[in-house]
Amino acid sequence: MLGSVSYPLLDRITSPQDLRALPESALPAVADELRAFLIATVSQMGGHFAAGLGTVELTVALHYVFDTPDDRLVWDVGHQAYPHKVLTGRRDRLTSIKQKDGLAPFPTRAESEYDTFGVGHSSTSVSAALGMALADQLQGGQRAHVAVIGDGAMTAGLAFEALNHAGSLDANLLVVLNDNDMSISENVGALSNYLARLLAGRLYRGFREGGKRVLRRIPAVWEFARRSEEHLKGMILPGTMFEELGLNYIGPVDGHDVIGLARTLKLLKHAKGPQLLHVATRKGKGYAPAEADPIKWHGPGPFDAAKGEIRKEAAAGPTYTQVFGQWLCDEADRDPTIVAITPAMREGSGLVNFSKRFPHRYYDVGIAEQHAITLAAGLACEGLKPVVAIYSSFLQRGYDQLIHDVALQDLPVTFALDRAGLVGGDGATHQGIFDLSYLRCVPNLIVMAPADENECRQMLHTAAHAGHPAAVRYPRGTGPGTAVITALSLLPIGKGVLVREGQSGLAILALGTMVSLLGPIAERLDATLVNLRFVKPLDRELVLDIATRHTRLVTAEENVLQGGAGAAILEVLADAGIMRPVLRLGIPDRFIEHGSRHDNLSAAGLDPTTLQRRIDAFCTTT
C-alpha cells in the first residue's frame, strides 16, 4: 500500500507559501500525505522517525499560520524536524539525510533560511528564540518568534532558565510545548480545545487585563480575584507553573487536530508578550509499530514499512556500548557500591539491562547533564562509586560540574564516554572529538582510551577502582574484534604498552581506535607501534624512551589536534629538550559534518589510505 501512495497536495508544496495558498479545509489531507511520505521515505534509508511522525500536524499548522521564514521558527530536539524539512523545499533530498553531502540530520542555518537556529543538543530553542525576539524588539520589528520544544527537552535546566527570563520581559515569544506524554491524553478533547481557544482569544485577554486594572484599585477584591483565577486554572489546566513564571498558558490542545491547531495559532500570532501553548501529541502517530514502541522506532535503520520490521544488520561482534553494559552489570554484581547515572540515554548508553537488574541503583535524570554530574559527586561523597554513562559530546554540557564538583574535590566518579571520536550520520553536533583536549587539562582526572573491546572492559574496571575521577572514552559501534575476557584486572595507571618493536627508526604512538588502524602500516614500514592507553597521566617514561631510540615520531588520535594526545607528547619532548621530527595525526581544526564513519575518517584524513600516504610522505621528507 505504501509503495502506491500518491501525494497530490504535497506535490504542489515546494515552500510554505504554497501551503498557505491552500484552504484551511485541505490541511488534514496535507498532513495525511506528509505522514505517508515520511513513512515511505524513512523506511528506505533509516533516520529519526517516531518524533517526526508526532509533529506532522503541528508542523503543517505552524507553517500555515506563520509567515516563515520572516517569522522565526526555532525547533528544539531536531529529531522532530523531518516534516519541517519536507515543507521547506527539501522533500526531494530527504533520502540523502545523514549521508555525505546530503541533508543534515538536524536543522542547520547553512542548509536553509527556514532553519533559523542550528539544533543538535536539546533545550536550546527558548533561549535562542527569546534572543531573536529581543533583537527584533530593539530593531523595531514586528516578527513573530516561535520556539517548539519537545517534552523531553523540558527536563533540562536551560529550558527553565530561558522561560524564567522570558516571563520577566515583554518580548513577543510563543513557546510551543510539544508534549507526547500519554499521561495527559485524557485532558485532550472538545472541552480542552474550547477552553484553549477561549483563553487564547482577544476577548478573554482583554477582559482579563481590563479587569485586573480595575481590581487593582480595590486591593482586597483584587487579591481574591487573583487567587481565584489561579486556583481555577490550576484545577482545569496544568499551566499554573508556567503562569507563575510569567507566561500566559494556553492548552493542552490536541496536537493532531490540524485545523484546531491552526485556529489556535492564529489567535496567538499577534498576542503580546510571552505565551506558552501546550500541545499534546503521540510519538510515532499514524504508524502502529512506532506508536507501540516509540523508543525502538526513534531512529531505526531501513525497515519494511508494510510489515513493521527493521532490517537487521549482520552482527560483527559486540559494540563498545554493549561491552560497557555487560561490564557494569558484572561490576555491580561484585560491588554493591556501584551506581549508574544517565542523562536520558538509557538505550543509547547500554543501560537497559542494568536498569532492570539494579533498579534501585539506577538514576535517569532526564536531559540534565549538569545535574547528572553533581548528583554523582554527591553520591561519591557518601562512599558510593557512581558511573556516569554519557556521550562525549554531551559531557561538554556539564564541564563546570566536572571541574568544580568532581575533580576539584577529587571524588571517585567514573565517566563512561560513549560516542567518542567520529560518530557518522549525526554529524557535527554529535562528533565526540574534543574530550581529550577538554579533559586533559583538568587536575586529578585520569583519562584513558581503549584500543579494543577487552581493553575497554579492563579500563572501566580500573576507572571504577582508581579512587579518583576517571574517564574512559570509547567509540560508537564495534571494535577490531578482540575477544572480551570475562575476568577483570586492574591496569597500571598511566602506563602504555609496546605493541611491536620496529627497526626502521620510525615510531608510531597511537591512542584508542588508531592503534588497530595503524597496525598494518607499522608492519609494512617495520615501525615501532605504541598503544598509549592513557593520555592523562601520560606514560612519560615510555615516551622519552621511544623518542631517544627513534629518529622520527608519529602520533595518532581520534580527537582534535589542539590539546590532545599529540600535543601532550610534544610537551613532554619540549620539557626534556628532545628535538625530533613529529607528524601529528588527528582531527583538523574544523567541524566534521555528517556522513558514514568512513566518510568522517576520510574528511579528517584518518582513513587507512590517507594515513599510509601521509606517513610515507613524512618518512621520505625527514
pLDDT, tens digit, 9 for 90 and up, residues 587-618: 999 999 999 999 999 999 999 999 999 999 99
Cα separation of 537 and 584, whole Å? Answer: 19
Is the pLDDT reported for residue 8 higher than 90? yes
Percentage of residues of the chain with pLDDT beyond 70: 90
Q: At 418, which helix (H) or strand (E)?
A: strand 414-418
Do 31 and 257 touch, CB atoms closer than 8 A? Answer: no
Q: Is 563 helix (H, G, I), strand (E, B) or coil?
A: coil
pLDDT at 187: 37
Q: Which residues pair with 582 in a beta bridge?
A: 553
Is the pLDDT reported for residue 170 higher than 70? yes
Which residue type occupies 605?
G
Is the pLDDT reported for residue 425 higher than 70? yes
pLDDT, greater one: 62 or 219: 62
Is the pLDDT reported for residue 357 higher than 80? yes
Least confident of 61-65, 130-134, 154-158, 476-480: 154-158
Average pLDDT, the chain: 90
Q: Report the candidate in 176, 137, 142, 182 with the shortest Cα–Cα distance to residue 159.
A: 176
Please identify every residue annotated as catalytic. 283, 369, 397
pLDDT at 3: 46
pLDDT, greater one: 313 or 161: 161
pLDDT at 201: 58
pLDDT at 346: 93
pLDDT at 574: 97
Is the pLDDT reported for residue 141 higher than 90? yes
Is the pLDDT reported for residue 195 higher than 50? no
Is the pLDDT reported for residue 506 higher than 60? yes
What distances in angstroms separate CA 81 from CA 18, 52, 430, 532, one per listed residue? 19, 6, 17, 42
Alpha helices in 499-564 (DSSP H): 514-525, 540-549
Contacting residues for 118 by C-beta, under 8 A, at least 6 apart = 106, 107, 108, 109, 429
Report the phi/psi class of residue 383: left, alpha or beta, with left for phi > 0 and alpha for psi in -120 to 50: left
Is the pLDDT reported for residue 198 higher than 70? no
pLDDT, greater one: 403 or 96: 403
Is the pLDDT reported for residue 194 higher than 60? no
Cα separation of 24 and 404, whole Å? Answer: 55
pLDDT at 197: 58
Helix H, strand E, coil C: the string for 202-263 is HHHHHHHHHHHHHHCCCHHHHHHHHHHHHHHHHHHCCCHHHHHCCCEEEEEEECCCHHHHHH
pLDDT, greater one: 1 or 515: 515
pLDDT, tens digit, 9 for 90 and up, residues 541-564: 999 999 999 999 999 999 999 999
Contacting residues for 431 by C-beta, under 8 A, at least 6 apart = 393, 421, 422, 423, 591, 592, 600
pLDDT, tens digit, 9 for 90 and up, residues 287-344: 898 888 888 888 888 888 888 888 887 667 899 999 999 999 999 999 999 999 999 8
Least confident of 9-18, 224-233, 469-478: 224-233
pLDDT, greater one: 195 or 565: 565
Q: Is 10 helix (H, G, I), strand (E, B) or coil?
A: helix
Residue 613 φ/ψ, nearest 5 degrees: -65, -40
pLDDT at 238: 60
Is the pLDDT reported for residue 223 higher than 60? no
Is the pLDDT reported for residue 404 higher than 60? yes
Residue owning grid cell 584500543: 451
Q: Are strands 446-448 and 534-536 parallel, antiparallel or unpaired?
A: antiparallel
Residue 89 CA to chain centroid, in angstroms? 25
Q: How does residue 476 score in pLDDT terms, banded at 50, 70 and 90?
A: very high
Q: Report the candidate in 279, 298, 292, 282 with the shortest Cα–Cα distance to residue 105.
A: 298
Cell of 455: 581493553
Q: How many CB atoms lie within 10 A of CB 555?
A: 26
Least confident of 161-170, 211-220, 313-322, 377-386: 211-220
Q: Is 154 helix (H, G, I), strand (E, B) or coil?
A: helix
Side-chain half-sphere of 227: how many Cα atoms within 13 Å? 6
Q: How many CB atoms lie within 10 A of CB 356?
A: 10
Cell of 77: 530536539
Q: How does residue 185 score in pLDDT terms, banded at 50, 70 and 90?
A: very low
Alpha helices in 145-218 (DSSP H): 157-166, 190-200, 202-215
pLDDT, tens digit, 9 for 90 and up, residues 201-222: 554 455 455 545 544 555 555 5
Cell of 268: 496567538
pLDDT at 295: 85
Is the pLDDT reported for residue 528 higher than 60? yes
Q: Which residues pair with 146 in a beta bridge?
A: 73, 174
pLDDT at 199: 54
Residue 604 φ/ψ, nearest 5 degrees: -90, -5
Which one-letter DSSP state was computed for residue 88? I
Percentage of residues of the chain with pLDDT beyond 90: 73
Strands lying side by side in the sheet with 528-531: 497-500, 528-531, 506-510, 552-560, 582-587
Averaged pLDDT, 69-81: 92
| Domains in the chain with CATH codes | 51-78+100-283 (3.40.50.970), 320-473 (3.40.50.970), 498-621 (3.40.50.920)
Cα separation of 88 and 94, whole Å? Answer: 11
pLDDT at 220: 58
Which one-letter DSSP state was computed for residue 161? H
Cell of 581: 621530527
